[in-house]
Structure 1
Amino acid sequence: MKGVGQRFAQGVVEFRDALSKYYIHSGFNFDFVKNDKDRITVHCKRMADLGWLWSVHARVENYSKAFVIKQFDDVHTCGSSFRTIKHARMTSSMIGGLISSDIRNKALTSVSEVFCDFKDYYGTEVSYRRAWMGVEKAKGLVFGDYSSSFDDLRWYVDAANACNLGSVLDMEFDIDSKGRHFKCLFFAFESCIHGFKYCRPVLMLDGTFLKGRHKGCLLAATAKDGNQGLYPLCFAIVDGESYDSWHWFLSKLLGILTPERDIAFVTDRHGGLLKALAEVFPFSCHSFCLMHLKTNLKTYLSVKSRESKEYLLTLFSRCAYAPTVELFNELFEEFKGRCGRSVERFLEDLPNECWCNAYFQGKRCGEMCTNVAESFNSWIRDERHLFSTKKKLEEAFNDTKAWIVKKCSDDIYEIQLDHSVMVDIGKHCCSCRLWEFDSFPCKHGFCAIKRSGKDLNCFLDDYYRVSSYCDSYSHSIYPVPSMWKPNVVVDDDVVLPPLCMRPAGRPRTERIPSKGEIKRIRCSMCGKMGTHNRKTCKQALL
């Protein structure tokens, strides 16, 4: 409220909104004397009792339909004692308008954040319900209503294809008597399809639930570049993790991969995914995520001692990483002997070629888990936390300085430690077999290459070269400009929201833990990570 002559181009609605904001900012309430679409007059709420001044009068201009302030007495003489921090005019619509810019920058803004921000910034107390309704209305302002948002999505798919030639973006619908309802969306940008050719041929598949108003599930195929960085290849929005949704996603994935390239997959053993993967990629190697296997294994272990359980889980990991069949059999027999019959059911549906190195037929490049596919939030971490190829080579150089190397032929070397290891640098293999599993020289291989005097770069896969790393990011994902986006035309082709019912209760904001998964927390008493808190801590106080 600036004074006489101030214009509100959007008419009476904008002027009423300005009055409410003035009331919230100043803390002084008011009453409407006149309130219609052509004229509005308001007085200070205490004017009728004490005659104190504060009033404003505005009316519409006939030629422009804008509201203009014609009279404004901006003097409050009723004193600060009549100010309030509980504002009846702080409606959910008002809250939604004020936080719409915040929602645009951070779509997952929580209700508690809005509650605290209004208290700190505006000095205003709002109820939790009103804050929640304000967040929902802000999302409606930013992302549009149900029907228009999905019709905009159809336009965006067409526009993204035009701006990123060579991309694969496809949307499918369910059709009923009411029209077309959104079913699923697949998108893989041309830059990602091109760049994956220079990444290692391993894909981690996983799905995660969506937190928006329409729910659903996000399926993802994620790889790693030559510097151990996350490399997203493609995504799909579906109604949930099921055989049908995974089969549809994998069929689309098959169409963007190079036909002659062998791809290894790492998954979390989801039932629908296992069946779909065997049908769409029958000749590809498939590995189960070791982290999920260990989590599921915990529920089958009958031992009660925490130390015994940790030892068995470690022994199971040693079985998975065992490089030879002989070592695997030795460790596996010990594992089964210590676990007893309770674990036999768990092992019945666990083919050796799907979880241990000794029997795996393809190349996983050292990837044993799908935690890459589940770590989208890790993208915000600093680059220094990434385990780069250069750091790995530096560690190999420092660890092999004192090793004894004997040359047997031009390509074959013997590495003498407390045991003897044979390395064939010509065939890129070592008796420890790690070179074969990781497609990267093991420490024994690095030591032999250094002794041979040959260029180390000649023994690295192309995926680890700087040129391949640059090629994987050489193409760009171009934005889709929406300045000249046409208005949505309501016709028979309007895309309606998916057919789904909102579940009872408050919406979930955290991932549903897997069966047997234990959430570790930090105790505020002893400061250690574990499953206890301050009340259940048994650490002795010094």
Structure 2
Amino acid sequence: MKGVGQRFAQGIVEFRDVLSKYSIHSGFDFDFVKNDKDCVTVHCKRRADFGCLWGMHARVENHSKYFVIKQFDDVHTYGSSFRTIKHARMTLSIIGALISSDIRNKALTSVSEVVCDFKDYYGTEVSYRRAWMSVEKGRGLVFGDYLSSFDDLHWYVDAVNDCNLGSVFDMEFDVHSKERHFKCLFFAFEACIHGFKYCRPVLMLDGTFLKRRHKGCLLAATTKDGNQGLYPLCFVIVDSESYDSWHWFLSKLFVILTPGRDIAFVINQHGGLLKALAEVFPFSSHSFCLMHLKTNLKTYLSVKSRESKEYLLTLFSRCAYAPTIELFNELFKEFKGRCGRSVEKFLEDLPNECWCNAYFQGKRYGEMCTNVAASFNSWVRDERYLLSTSLVDAIRVKLIEQFSRRREVGNKWNHIVCPFAEKKLEEALNDTKAWIVKKCSDDIYEIQLDHSVMVDIGKRSCSCRLWEIDSFPCKHGFCAIKRSEKDLNCFLDNYYRVSSYCDSYSHSIYPVPSMWKPNVIVDDDIVLPPLCKRPAGRPRTERIPSKGEIKRIRCSRCGKMGTHNRKTCKEALL
């Protein structure tokens, strides 16, 4: 409170709200002597017992219709000894309004944090139950009251489509129930669909569990932009990660992709995903995530020595990255010879064309892992606790910020290619300064090292095959292009250009205003929560490690990353 003359443009509602917050912060309570729409008079609650003279009078100005403080005695004559830490004015709406900014910045604000914050800032005690109810109400204020349940899901989907023309939203219901229970929701914003045309045609498919009341999974198709940044394309909320869910998701994904564009997929070995991908995208190439393969391989290795396991895993990676069939066969023979029969079962269901560069049929632009999918799962870690409609809107807000921020960054770049490509070219320049290049024709060059390498810059090929595999000039190709004195940028795919990067973020994702949301909902538009049963036990807050996964830590004694700590460290210290 600023004192006499303070004006409240929103009338008595704003005045009462500010008055309650002021009393909470000051640690006292008050009584209404008069309280109507035109005039409010309040006295300190201890006036009758201790004769406290604190009081305030405010009323509406006739000419401006503002609520104005006319009289304010801001002195408590009984002192500060009777201030309370349990305040009756600490209602759910007040708490929710005070913490709304915190929830907006951090969707997973815990109830304990709210209790501690009120104790530290206001000196007021709030019960855990009231704090929990206020957090839920605060989330409704932040994301809009229409996002607190499934009731207005139809309205929200229609509102997003109206504000973002070209977006794709599709929802299905449980056909086995008499009422319209939510089953799955696919959504892809128009800006993402348009921008993917300027990104490399490689998609990572993965899913993450939802932590909300009704459980379920969030499946996503993500890729990378021209500067190796995370680029989410589309999403789906389903009850579980199964064949039916993946098939429904991929069928919707097929519709939003540019017809005739060859897409390569990087996936895990989920049986339902493999079957659905073969049916929906029969002519597309797919590869297994190398990181997941190495994690699964650990369970089949019979060697007990940690050094031997690390060597075999490294040898397996070398097999995957081997660019030629000859090199792959040589390394793979050594790998199988060292592993013996223990990994035969693992290799039976692992076709060569699905994990190694030498046999892969499509173009995956050097992407061997679904690390971008893991980045997406971390990107929505807190939002996974929200209800379905709130989750969709939270993702929309995050995409708004990402597109706007990267659009501004891209417009400031004054190079032809993105910084990621510039860095790779600079590294190639430093490594090839002493190489000997012989010109055979206008396009064909020979690179003389300890071995001879042939480069055809016209066909964008090299005998090392790395140029064809990564769709980016290898060091031999870079050296040949430099010798030809031709423009290096002409030999790079358009996906690495700054212009393509800016085009991928050129369209915007627009807000969804809720001020005109109808208060009355038609019965046909009501969507009920999914039919599910809460599993037994306390909900988990951390990811369940995969089979064979080993958590690596840094030893405080030797400083190395590994599976040992200071107590079990056996490293020799110099």
Fold match (TM-score > 0.5): yes
Matches within 5 A, 1:174-323: 174-175=174-175, 179-323=179-323
Deviation at 1:440, TM superposition (A): 1.1
Aligned to 1:447: 479
Deviations 1:295-339 (A, max 9, x none): 121222222322222111111100100111221121112112222
The range that moved more, 367-376 or 110-119, is 110-119
Contact kept? 2:207, 2:217, Cα under 8 Å: yes
Cα offsets for 1:186-213 (capped at 9, x unmatched): 1222332222222221111111123344
1:24/1:241 CA distance change after superposition, 3 Å: same
Structure 1, residues 258-304: CA drift from partner, whole Å, max 9, x if none?
22221110002222211111111111111000011111212222223
Letter in 1 for 2:113: E
Contact 2:220–2:234, Cα closer than 8 Å, also in 1:
yes
Does the CA-based 8 Å contact 2:152-2:525 persist in structure 1? no
CA distance in 2, matches of 1:173, 1:329: 51
Q: How does 1:344-493 map to 2 (within 5 A)?
A: 344-376=344-376, 377=378, 388-493=420-525
Q: For residues 167 and 86 of structure 1, do their structure 2 counterparts lie closer, same or farther at Cα, with a shift above 3 Å needed?
A: closer
Hey, what does 2:111 align to over in structure 1? 111
Which digits, 9 at most, give the CA deviation of each residue in 1:449-484, with x for residues without a partner? 222233323322232233333333333333333343
Moved more, 455-464 or 218-227: 455-464
* Contact 1:44/1:52 (<8 A) preserved: no
Moved more, 21-30 or 181-190: 21-30
User: What secondary structure is seen at the aligned counterpart in 1 of 2:455?
Assistant: strand
Equivalent pair of 2:97/2:138 in contact (CA under 8 Å) = yes
Partners of 1:52 and 1:76 within 8 A in 2: no
Aligned mates of 2:12, 2:538 — CA distance in 1: 37
SS in 2 for 1:511: coil
**SS of residue paired to 1:486:** coil
Q: How far off its partner does 1:355 sit?
A: 0.4
Distance in 2 (CA, whole Å) between partners of 1:175 and 1:58 is 61
Q: Gapped runs of 5+ residues in structure 1?
A: 62-66
**1:129-163 deviation per Cα after TM superposition (whole angstroms, max 9, x unaligned):** 55334323322444467897434332232233233
8 Å contact kept, 1:147–1:497: no
The one-letter amino acid paired with 2:546 is S
- Classify 1:346/1:93 alpha carbon distance in 2 versus 1 (closer, same or farther; 3 Å): farther
Q: Which amino acid aligns with 2:440?
A: C
* Aligned AA (1:501): K
Match of 1:64 in 2: none
What secondary structure does 1:519 align onto?
coil
User: In structure 2, what residue type is equivalent to 1:413?
Assistant: Y
CA contact (8 A) 1:414 1:420 kept: yes
Taking the aligned partners of 1:323 and 1:90, their CA distance within structure 2 comes to 67
Distance in 2 of aligned mates of 1:114 and 1:539:
46
Write the distance in 2 (CA, Å) between the matches of 1:478 and 1:71: 46
In the TM superposition, what is the alpha-carbon distance from 1:235 to its structure 2 partner? Answer: 1.5
Q: From the superposition, tell whether residues 193 and 4 of structure 1 become closer, same or farther in structure 2 (CA, over 3 Å).
A: closer
Cα deviation for residue 511 of structure 1 reads 3.5
Q: Name the counterpart of 1:53.
A: 52
Cα distance in structure 2, aligned partners of 1:227 and 1:533: 37
| 1:15-26 map, 5 Å | 21-22=21-22, 24-26=24-26
- Structure 1 vs Structure 2: percent identity of aligned residues? 83
In structure 2, distance between residues paired with 1:501 and 1:57: 54
Distance 1:490 1:60 in 2: 41
Q: Distance in 1 between matches of 2:181 and 2:68?
A: 45
> How many residue pairs end up in the alignment?
533
Of residues 168-177 and 326-335 in structure 1, the stretch that sits farther from structure 2 once superposed is: 168-177
8 Å CA contact 1:44–1:54 kept in 2: the answer is no
SS of the residue corresponding to residue 180 of structure 2 reads strand
Alpha-carbon contact 1:296-1:515 (below 8 Å) kept: yes
Q: Cα deviations across residues 197-242 of structure 1 (Å, max 9, x unaligned)?
A: 2222111111112334443222111122222222222122222211
Give the whole-Å Cα distance in 2 for the aligned partners of 1:375 and 1:459.
Answer: 30
Paired residue secondary structure (2:245): helix
**What are the Cα deviations for residues 156-177 of structure 1, in whole angstroms up to 9, with x where unaligned?**
3223323333332222222566
Mapped contact 2:54–2:77 kept (Cα < 8 A): no
Q: Secondary structure at the match of 2:25?
A: helix
Q: Look up the SS of the partner of 2:152 in the other structure.
A: helix
Alpha-carbon distance in 2 for matches of 1:510, 1:403: 51
Greater mean deviation of Cα atoms: 291-300 or 488-497: 488-497
Deviations 1:36-59 (A, max 9, x none): xxx9988646965xx453677999
**Aligned-pair CA distance for 1:404:** 0.9
Farther off after superposition, 214-223 or 282-291: 214-223
TM-score, scaled to structure 1: 0.84
Which sections of structure 2, spanning at least 5 residues, go unmatched? 61-66, 380-397
Distance 1:133 1:535 in 2: 45
Structure 1 residues 154 and 339: alpha-carbon distance in aligned structure 2, compared to 1, 3 A threshold: same
Amino acid at match of 2:108: L
TM-score scaled by length of structure 2: 0.80
CA pair 337-42 structure 1, distance change in 2 beyond 3 A: farther
Change (3 A) 1:226 1:478: same
Q: Are residues 452 and 323 of structure 1, via their aligned partners in 2, closer, same or farther at CA, if it must alter by over 3 Å? A: same
Query: C-alpha separation between the residues in 1 aligned to 2:444 and 2:279?
Result: 42
Task: Look up the equivalent residue of 2:428 and give its one-letter code.
Answer: A
Closer, same or farther: CA 164–156 of 1 in aligned 2, 3 Å: same
SS in 2 for 1:150: coil
Contact 1:147 1:494 in 2 (8 A): no
Query: Is contact 2:164–2:509 with CA below 8 Å preserved after alignment?
Result: yes
Contact 1:34/1:42, CA 8 A, preserved across alignment: no
Moved more, 341-350 or 432-441: 341-350
Map of 1:96 onto structure 2: 96
Q: Distance in 2 between matches of 1:332 and 1:492?
A: 60
Confirm or deny: 8 A CA contact 2:140 2:148 kept in the other structure. Answer: no
Residue number in structure 2 paired with 1:170: 170
CA spacing shift, 1:500–1:54, aligned 2, 3 Å: farther
2:121 corresponding residue in structure 1: 121
In the other structure, the counterpart of 2:389 is none
Change (3 A) 1:139 1:489: same
